[in-house]
Structure 1
């Protein structure tokens, strides 16, 4: 992982529409569409399917506003929820974070059998989302970039 691989800061909100409107009014942010749906994830308590929806800003630095999912780690709590990084090897980067004291909070398997994403939380509260770089082109469509 490298600092230049940071591609968004995530905020979880109970009312994502109002949250996006506030960022627009205060800071001039523009938004791509809300995307997502039923996503199978592995949580510490086991496998579960959650309705995971978010919208990315078109404006940089890129923000992601995630719709709150009660009873999961995706609950609104105010402030920055996570820092999202591209990863060339999510499993290896997650293992490196665990070795530094991070705890895995959620993972999602990818179509290739590897990890699509992983959320890990450090002892200071820092939460990192690792996202496979293979998803970069597809996710760029969320903010109007790419093919």
Structure 2
């Protein structure tokens, strides 16, 4: 893992449209399409299907605004809404093991169709949360913030 692999900062909000509008008005952010679907994940208490809806900014530094999912760690509970920093990973399993060695705990994982780790969310004992995403997903995720003009 290295600083150059940072590709977004995640924000969880109860109102996706209002948050995007505020960031656009205040900081001139522009947005890719809203995307979402139920996804299969493994949370701390076991497997779950979670409806994730989000949008990535086309403006950099890249933001991901995610609609709050009550009852999960994607829920807004006090605080700023800043949720995580997302990094590309060439080996999600190895990078997650390194974070675990440093005291991070796993909050959610998702496997790719071949069974390899697709993403993992991990939190430090100070509350700092990281999302590691397989670099193999980069070409398809880039479509979420491609210039559509």
- Please confirm whether the aligned pair reaches a TM-score higher than 0.5, indicating the same fold: yes
Contact 2:13 / 2:81 at 8 angstroms: preserved in 1?
Answer: no
State the 1:111 CA deviation. 1.3
Equivalent residue, structure 2, for 1:118: 120
Equivalent residue, structure 2, for 1:31: 31
Equivalent residue, structure 2, for 1:132: 134
4+ residue runs over 4 A deviation: none
What's the TM-score once normalised by structure 1's chain length? 0.96
Give per-residue Cα distances to partners, 1:92-145, cap 9 Å, x unaligned: 101100000000000001112111100000011100000000000000000016
Map 1:4-43 to 2 at 5 A.
4-43=4-43
The answer to whether 1:73 aligns with 2:73 is yes
**Whole-Å Cα distance in 1 between the matches of residues 97 and 91 of structure 2?**
10
Q: 3-state SS of the aligned residue for 2:82?
A: coil
- Equivalent pairs counted in the alignment come to 145
State the 1:79 CA deviation. 3.4
Map 1:37-116 to 2 at 5 A.
37-77=37-77, 78-116=80-118
RMSD across aligned C-alpha pairs, in angstroms? 0.8
What's the TM-score once normalised by structure 2's chain length? 0.95
**Unaligned 5+ residue runs, structure 2?**
none
